[in-house]
Amino acid sequence: MSHQEIKSSPPSAQSPEEPSLIQIEPLSKAAGGIPSIVATAKTVWNEMGMGRGVRTLLKLNQKDGFDCPGCAWPEPDGERSHAEFCENGAKHVADEATTKRVTPEFFRQWSVGDLSLKSDHWLGKQGRITHPMILREGATHYEEISWDNAFALVAAELNALADPDEAIFYTSGRTSNEAAFLYQLFVRQFGTNNLPDCSNMCHESSGSALGETIGVGKGTVTLEDFNLATAIFVIGQNPGTNHPRMLSALEQAKKNGCRLVHINPLPEVGMTQFKHPQDVLGLLGAGTTLSDLFLQVRINGDVALLQGISKAVLAEEEKGTRAVLDREFITGYTVGVDEFIGALEGVEWNEIVDESGISRAQIEEAANIFMESERTIFCWAMGLTQHKNAVANIQEIVNLMLLRGQIGKPGAGLCPVRGHSNVQGDRTMGIWERPTDAFLDRLGSEFNFNPPRRHGFDTVKAIQAMHAGQARVFFAMGGNFLSATPDTEYTADALRRCRLTAHVSTKLNRAHLITGEQALILPCLGRTEIDVQSFGPQFVTTENSMAVVQASRGSLQPASDSLLSEPAIVARLATATLAERTSVNWLALIADYDRIRDHIAWVVPGFDDYNTRVRRPGGFVLPSGPRERVFNTPSGRAVFTVHAMPRHELEPDQFLMMTIRSHDQFNTSIYGLDDRYRGIYNGRRVVFLNQDDVREAGFEEGQLVDLFSHFEGEERVARRFAVVPYSIPRRSAATYFPETNVLVPVRSVADKSNTPVSKSVVISIKPSEESGVTGV
Ligand code: SF4
């Protein structure tokens, strides 16, 4: 392809397909094992060189090392193995610590238009960005800019706004506690609560559901609880790809006699058979069978299924042959049980079976495992949180657990598994568009200012505001906003309408190519790298999925001398923007991150003596009311809730589609084109369909089809996907994120949490009229 700008059309918001032939192979028999070791070694070798790679991986997730930039699964409290990471953790590290570089010379060679014609996979493979870059108004290429000039530009654009609410400040879940705390302080001193984050698109529904029912929007278990549990339910989650080290915890639980139930529309290899890559005997043998029971629920059939399990539990209690309910807990710690039971009585078994797609016998089998278990954990992820009724999904889990007093005792509880390493910590630090008055009061008093009280925009509202011209500056602390968000073309238009878009990034991504009138790339240090400020080397801290706060120290030399740390970027931007208007000496704060942590200790509950406690090996656990059976709800009790069963009325030619991730990706980062566990190689534009649906529709394996989504009379299209017959419920479809985000309407959101409905998208499928390279 020539490196000529294509002037007639704006840069492409969607990743083009890679010119390769997709192969569909038999599924993997087990997760982990030797293929996992080979994949890890290959990635590390290619990106980092073997010696440097091995030295770096030996520091990953160690008490004196750095926190994995991947998912938020916790590390063991006690002794850790020398290789405390998974295949995907190694890929995340290799991706960040790559020796490849994207220099100013690279940007001189490649116009933005030409770059946009490259796939997301290709963009990510180019390496670390070495210098701050600017795309000037009307220009076709990024060019180098000094840090001072970059900050001056952002400051000028922010200060030119008619109202601080015309600026959006996005955060991705990699941002450290220190950077996040400074960032929200800057944004609030600037005068807005427009702090959307990636949590708005993933576990916001969990936060809303749990906040209402148990008084805090976080899980209630620690890793130790997995060793004590007698049953673990994993629902709407694929740990083998998205939280791989969770499989080790599940394997250990199985060895302890725990029973596992997996509930998901797709059978996932990771939950079926696991070979621990560090266990030599396990590698040679067949591995450990994880699930005792797999329920292949229909997409968004979870409310029906959970109501069915609750109904079976209540029916058993009715019989009076054994005590099933924990009446002491229900009476002492909950409200609303009578309304819940009354509503369930009106739910018929045939509705439950129809909507869940699971037979009554299988539901009763799951209920039996639940009733026989003294200590039960429920884990879930995006399979529950990205539906219109997502909050109801999670609250039905809470209902079930409350019936048997399974919250607030060792070995039992609720476990929303977070997908990005510090997404939970960022929210704890105040990255939230709807902060509580109590938080703002403490922040204002600590820094002697009046924080704005008006709630800001979440991610969906931020996109809509930019689209409507109500927001003119978009600043992103990490992430790939364009690819992570729904309705790709609409979001692209929203970004194009901004006066300025600016991204703090380590690597090139599509969000750098779909820009406002001017754009900045501000390159930052990665987790793996040494962070030296004027008082010497610094460490940062993060909070994992189980509320453990720990230190993270990089050990590699930075990818370039021109990188700044995220806290330094915030401090210098705040200084440039706020000038005399700030009550904070920003540059003094970043000289020594202990100073930031001292402020956090005053503002954020649970962080007393932060600097001392976080220096203890392994850090410390934040207090959790529900773990002590303290429920900070208006009634002071945990709350049973009542929900209508969702129904999907599909036209004869329609399917319910969910977006999923492949094994070779992390969120929007595409590391490779294979999905080994599902037997897909060399491509990502595939649609998984039930074999019988494929036959009935007259499709063939590998045939190219176009996908059309239907929402309130609007039609969106994603073209050229290869049909893959697969084990998936009838009338269901699964496709990879972010390729099919284009089909997710921005206005299709979950009740209460406003999370985009990426897992129940109504589509129809037609043979593609275009021919091309995709296909088998
Ligand atoms: S399980 Fe998650 S946190 Fe742990 S190494 Fe793998 S990706 Fe990183």
- Mapping DSSP onto H, E and C, the string for 170-223 reads EECCCCCHHHHHHHHHHHHHHCCCCCCEHHHHCCHHHHHHHHHHHCCCCCCCCH
Q: Is 342 helix (H, G, I), strand (E, B) or coil?
A: helix
> What would the mean pLDDT of 334-346 be, rounded to a whole number?
97
Ligand 1 centroid vs 95 CA: distance in angstroms?
Answer: 14
Among 744, 135, 172, 767, residue whose Cα is nearest residue 490:
744
Residue 39 has a pLDDT of: 75
* 123 HSE (CA, 13 A, CB side): 29
Residue at token pair 């002697």? 448
> What would the mean pLDDT of 178-189 be, rounded to a whole number?
98
Distance CA 515, CA 213 (A): 41
- With DSSP H G I counted as helix, E B as strand and the rest as coil, what are the percentages for the chain, rounded to 5? 40, 20, 45
Q: What are the tens digits of pLDDT across the range 274-295?
A: 776 666 555 556 678 889 999 9
Distance CA 143, CA 505 (A): 16
Ligand 1 centroid vs 255 CA: distance in angstroms?
Answer: 22
Residue 773 has a pLDDT of: 46
Q: What does each C-alpha distance from 769 to 351, 510, 707, 737, 766 come to in angstroms?
A: 40, 27, 12, 23, 9
Residue 78 has a pLDDT of: 77
Task: Indicate which atom in ligand 1 lies nearest the CA of residue 243.
Answer: 1
Query: What 3 state SS string does 506-524 have?
Result: CECCHHHCCCCCEEEEEEE
Task: Using most ligand atoms within 8 A of CB, pick from 36, 56, 92 the residue to mutate for ligand 1.
Answer: 92
Supply 526's token pair.
Answer: 């990665």
Atom 2 in ligand 1: which residue has the minimum CA distance?
A: 71
Atom 7 in ligand 1: which residue has the minimum CA distance?
A: 89
Task: Using most ligand atoms within 8 A of CB, pick from 67, 84, 93, 245 the residue to mutate for ligand 1.
Answer: 245
Ligand 1 centroid vs 86 CA: distance in angstroms?
Answer: 6
Atom 8 in ligand 1: which residue has the minimum CA distance?
A: 89
Distance CA 303, CA 355 (A): 9
Q: Ligand 1 pocket by C-beta < 6 Å: which residues?
A: 61, 68, 70-71, 73, 85-86, 88-89, 92, 243-245
> What would the mean pLDDT of 594-613 be, rounded to a whole number?
98
Percentage of the chain lying above the pLDDT 70 cut: 96
| Angle between helical axes of 337-345 and 390-403 (0-180°, round to 10) | 110
Ligand 1 centroid vs 560 CA: distance in angstroms?
Answer: 26
Q: Tell me whether the omega of the peptide bond preceding residue 738 falls within 30 degrees of 0, making it cis.
A: yes
Residue 279 has a pLDDT of: 61
> Is 481 in contact with 511 (CB distance < 8 Å)?
yes
DSSP summary character for residue 483: H
Distance CA 749, CA 65 (A): 39
8 versus 519: the higher-pLDDT residue is 519
> Is 210 in contact with 398 (CB distance < 8 Å)?
yes
Q: What average pLDDT is seen over the chain?
A: 93
- What confidence tier does 38 reach under pLDDT thresholds 50, 70, 90? confident
Per mean pLDDT, which range of 34-43, 65-74, 78-87, 665-674 is the poorest?
34-43
Phi, psi of 591 (to 5 degrees): -60, -35
Residue 19 has a pLDDT of: 64
Distance CA 528, CA 96 (A): 8
Atom 3 in ligand 1: which residue has the minimum CA distance?
A: 71
Ligand 1 centroid vs 681 CA: distance in angstroms?
Answer: 23
Residue 650 has a pLDDT of: 94
Task: Using most ligand atoms within 8 A of CB, pick from 86, 91, 671 the residue to mutate for ligand 1.
Answer: 86
- Is pLDDT of 2 > 50? no
Query: Which residues make Cβ contacts (< 8 Å) with residue 708, sequence separation at least 6?
Result: 715, 716, 717, 743, 763, 764, 765, 766
| Angle between helical axes of 50-57 and 87-96 (0-180°, round to 10) | 120
For residue 31, the Cα-to-chain-centroid distance in whole angstroms is 21
- Is pLDDT of 44 > 90? no
Task: Indicate which atom in ligand 1 lies nearest the CA of residue 75.
Answer: 4
> What would the mean pLDDT of 756-760 be, rounded to a whole number?
97
Q: What are the tens digits of pLDDT across the range 708-734?
A: 999 999 999 999 999 999 999 999 999
Distance CA 386, CA 73 (A): 20
Residue 564 has a pLDDT of: 98
Q: What are the tens digits of pLDDT across the range 212-227?
A: 999 999 999 999 999 9
Residue at token pair 């600590």? 446
Q: What are the tens digits of pLDDT across the range 516-571?
A: 999 999 999 999 999 999 999 999 999 999 999 999 999 999 999 999 999 999 99
**Enclosing H/E stretch for 263:** strand 259-263
> Is 666 in contact with 172 (CB distance < 8 Å)?
no
- Is pLDDT of 63 > 80? yes
Ligand 1 centroid vs 36 CA: distance in angstroms?
Answer: 14
Task: Indicate which atom in ligand 1 lies nearest the CA of residue 666.
Answer: 7
- Is pLDDT of 13 > 70? yes
Supply 241's token pair.
Answer: 């790809």
- What confidence tier does 262 reach under pLDDT thresholds 50, 70, 90? very high
Beta bridge partners of 709: 716, 763
- What confidence tier does 649 reach under pLDDT thresholds 50, 70, 90? confident
- DSSP assignment of 54-97, as one string? HHHHTTBT-TTSB--SS--PPPPSS---S----HHHHHHHHHHS
- Is pLDDT of 351 > 60? yes
Q: Is 690 helix (H, G, I), strand (E, B) or coil?
A: strand
CA torsion 381-382-383-388 (nearest 10°) is 130
Q: What are the tens digits of pLDDT across the range 375-399?
A: 999 999 999 999 999 999 999 999 9
> What would the mean pLDDT of 108-130 be, rounded to a whole number?
96
Ligand 1 centroid vs 462 CA: distance in angstroms?
Answer: 30
Within the chain, how many helices (H) and strands (E) appear?
31, 33
DSSP summary character for residue 410: T
* 521 HSE (CA, 13 A, CB side): 31
Q: What are the tens digits of pLDDT across the range 431-470?
A: 999 999 999 999 999 999 999 999 999 999 999 999 999 9
Ligand 1 centroid vs 92 CA: distance in angstroms?
Answer: 9
Per mean pLDDT, which range of 3-7, 418-422, 447-451, 567-571 is the poorest?
3-7
Query: Which residues make Cβ contacts (< 8 Å) with residue 357, sequence separation at least 6?
Result: 296, 297, 298, 301, 729, 730
> What would the mean pLDDT of 605-609 be, rounded to a whole number?
97
Residue 224 has a pLDDT of: 94
Query: Which residues make Cβ contacts (< 8 Å) with residue 616, sequence separation at least 6?
Result: none
> Is 175 in contact with 195 (CB distance < 8 Å)?
no
